[in-house]
């Protein structure tokens, strides 16, 4: 596990951009695993401002809320269009369908998408409880795409994007930890003091399903890009 400590989120986006560019320029970025939320926005801004061409690259996203349509402005489909896809076309964009009639079939379909498009780089954020994707504490390290009941802390954290907390979906479809770990390279981004304990547990703590991100200690090419505040407990 490699750790890069940066001044702030803007610098973190630039560092992550360098890694993505290096892999794309070498011809080794066929499938790009993407994340949502405020954390990767600085990376996406760097990608949009660049002359990098992603028209031969497929994307796969970590997750999507159940019950939100793609044109709902709180859906992850909408987020990705707004922050990346409308400005940087990809060959094909893959996200779970949160409105699928049969959610079990949708999870199986998404596992097939991942199997057919091995992920070269997976971007991750991390929750205050060290969740990755929507894989909450206790999620199996052997898990593939599944239906997740969101914890109270995750719902509360995500409520800042909704009018009221009651509007936050309580379930999501999420790529599983086994699928995330199959990625050739993982770039985890974390900023702010609120992420310091999760980073400490991820880097220094025992590998445990109660700390989902701790499994990254076992990955051959996991890179953490974190600011001074998020790194405060591991220095």
Catalytic residue among 131, 135, 158, 201: 131
Say if strands 171-174 and 63-65 run parallel, antiparallel, or are unpaired.
Answer: antiparallel
Q: Is 136 annotated in the active site?
A: yes
Q: Is residue 129 among the annotated active site residues? A: yes
Q: Tell me if 32 sits within 8 A of 54, measured CB to CB.
A: yes
28 is catalytic: no
Burial of 107 (C-beta count, 10 Å sphere; 0-12/13-18/19+): buried
Which member of 135, 136, 219, 227 is catalytic? 136
Query: The tokens of 58 are what?
Result: 């497929």
131 part of the active site: yes
Q: How big, in percent rounded to 5, are the helix, strand and coil portions of the chain?
A: 35, 20, 45
Catalytic member of 15, 46, 63, 64: 63
Q: Which of 117, 129, 135, 201 is catalytic?
A: 129
Active site positions, annotated: 63, 129, 131, 136
């Amino acid at each position: 596990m490699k750790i890069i400590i940066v001044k702030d989120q803007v610098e973190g986006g630039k560092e992550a951009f360098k890694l993505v560019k290096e892999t794309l320029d070498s011809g080794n970025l066929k499938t790009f695993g993407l994340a949502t939320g405020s954390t990767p926005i600085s990376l996406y801004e760097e990608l949009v401002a660049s002359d990098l061409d992603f028209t031969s690259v497929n994307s796969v996203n970590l997750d999507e809320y159940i019950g939100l349509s793609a044109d709902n402005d709180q859906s992850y489909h909408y987020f990705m269009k707004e922050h990346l896809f409308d400005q940087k076309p990809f060959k094909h964009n893959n996200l779970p369908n949160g409105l699928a009639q049969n959610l079990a079939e949708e999870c199986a379909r998404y596992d097939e998408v991942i199997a057919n498009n091995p992920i070269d780089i997976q971007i991750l954020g991390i929750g205050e409880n060290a969740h990755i994707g929507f894989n909450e504490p206790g999620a199996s390290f052997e898990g593939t795409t599944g239906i997740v009941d969101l914890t109270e802390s995750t719902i509360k954290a995500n409520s800042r994007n909704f009018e009221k907390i009651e509007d936050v979906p309580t379930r999501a479809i999420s790529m599983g930890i086994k699928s995330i770990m199959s990625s050739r390279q993982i770039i985890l981004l974390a900023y702010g003091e609120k992420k310091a304990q999760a980073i400490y547990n991820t880097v220094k703590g025992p590998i445990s399903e109660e700390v989902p991100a701790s499994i990254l200690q076992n990955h051959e090419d996991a890179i953490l890009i974190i600011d001074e505040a998020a790194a405060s407990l591991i220095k």
